[in-house]
Amino acid sequence: MSLTLQQIAESFSGGQFDKVYENMSESIIWNVIGENSFVGKEAVIDNCQQVASYFNAVTTIFKTGNIIADNNRVAIDGTAEFVREGKRVSYVWACDVYEFNDRKELEKITSYCIQEKK
């Protein structure tokens, strides 16, 4: 079953990266504003796998706030709480903007992440 653009975006924002790989353009760009930029499908998948490893090492609680979809773009905001041994390790407010090409391939992701200061 093929995913809608919104389902692709929701899967990525929810850390279910492996559901999205087949929907990525070979020339995808993922910009994590103020942190890093990943260019090309291989680089994006490599980073997704590193992030997924971290998610698997902690209890991850994602909460979606808003989803806005318009033509070939989807924006999702929400929070992510990371807990280890019953204690909050990190808390992040995030907004991801997804852009798709005319073949419905994910072509660009722009991520804005604000980490709670301790």
What's the pLDDT tens digit per position in 58-115? 999 999 999 999 999 999 999 999 999 999 999 999 999 999 999 999 999 999 999 9
Q: pLDDT class for 1, splitting at 50, 70, 90?
A: low
Within a 10 A sphere around the Cβ of 63, how many other Cβ atoms? 9
What's the pLDDT tens digit per position in 39-49? 999 999 999 99
- The pTM (predicted TM-score) of the whole model is 0.93
CB-CB contact of 44 with 28 (8 Å) = yes
The domain segmentation of the chain, as residue ranges, is 5-115
User: CATH classification of 5-115 is 3.10.450.50, yes or no?
Assistant: yes
Q: pLDDT class for 117, splitting at 50, 70, 90?
A: confident
Cα 8 to its chain centre, rounded Å, is 10
Task: Calculate Rg over the CA atoms of the chain.
Answer: 14
Q: Which tops the pLDDT comparison, 46 or 117? A: 46
